Amino acid sequence: MCLWEEVYEPMLRSSLDGQIRYLQQLGLLAIDQRCPGCSEFMMLRPNKKTCDGYSWVCLLKTCVFYKNTYSIRRNSAFSGSRLPLFKLFKLMYLWATEILLCKVERFVSVNRKTAGEMYARLQNIPEMICA
Ligand SMILES: [Zn+2]
């Protein structure tokens, strides 16, 4: 099985929910998060206000952060970007297959500056990709 079939196709064929689960399986998104207020595990809940459609939320009524929401990208390679997860994954795939930055625009509709920022970020966290 090649990298495309093994890694890229499952993402390509998934709905947004499936993409999030898949990224969690790959270790690229957290499978759980603890609340910074009460340290209890937060729940992953649908949230139409976010571009990812989901966010982490604390549901402990006694917590000062009760019902506060946190991005599913928190502490991940995708944090700080507003690009859709699929597009970020595509950039990550191109980077992993050593597609030159100058050719990325042919595959993903992002400008070179944005692609360059993602490439630079990935180069700084190689252990995350190889895990
Ligand atoms: Zn809490």
Cα 118 to ligand 1 centre (Å)? 31
* Domain ranges, ordered by start, for the chain: 32-75
Give the whole-angstrom CA distance, residue 16 versus residue 115. 22
Distance 44 CA to ligand 1 centre (A): 13
Q: 97-118 pLDDT, tens per residue?
A: 888 888 888 888 888 888 888 8
Rounded to whole angstroms, how far apart are CA atoms 49 and 94? 29
CA distances from 68 to 41, 79, 82 (A): 13, 18, 20
Cα–ligand 1 centroid distance for 71 (angstroms): 15
Confidence of residue 1 (pLDDT cuts 50, 70, 90): low
Cα of 46 to ligand 1 centre, how many Å?
18
Rounded to the nearest angstrom, the gap between the alpha carbon of residue 40 and the centroid of all alpha carbons in its chain is 22
SS3 55: strand
d(CA 92, CA 118): 8
Question: What integer is the mean pLDDT of 56-81?
Answer: 94
- Whether the CA torsion 25, 27, 28, 33 is positive or negative: it is positive
List, as ranges, residues with CB under 5 A of the ion ligand 1: 35, 37-38, 58, 60, 63, 65
Going from the Cα of 62 to the center of ligand 1, the distance in angstroms, rounded, reads 8
Instruction: Render pLDDT for 8-21 as a digit per residue (tens, 0 to 9).
Output: 788 888 888 999 99
Span from the CA of 61 to the centroid of ligand 1 (angstroms): 8
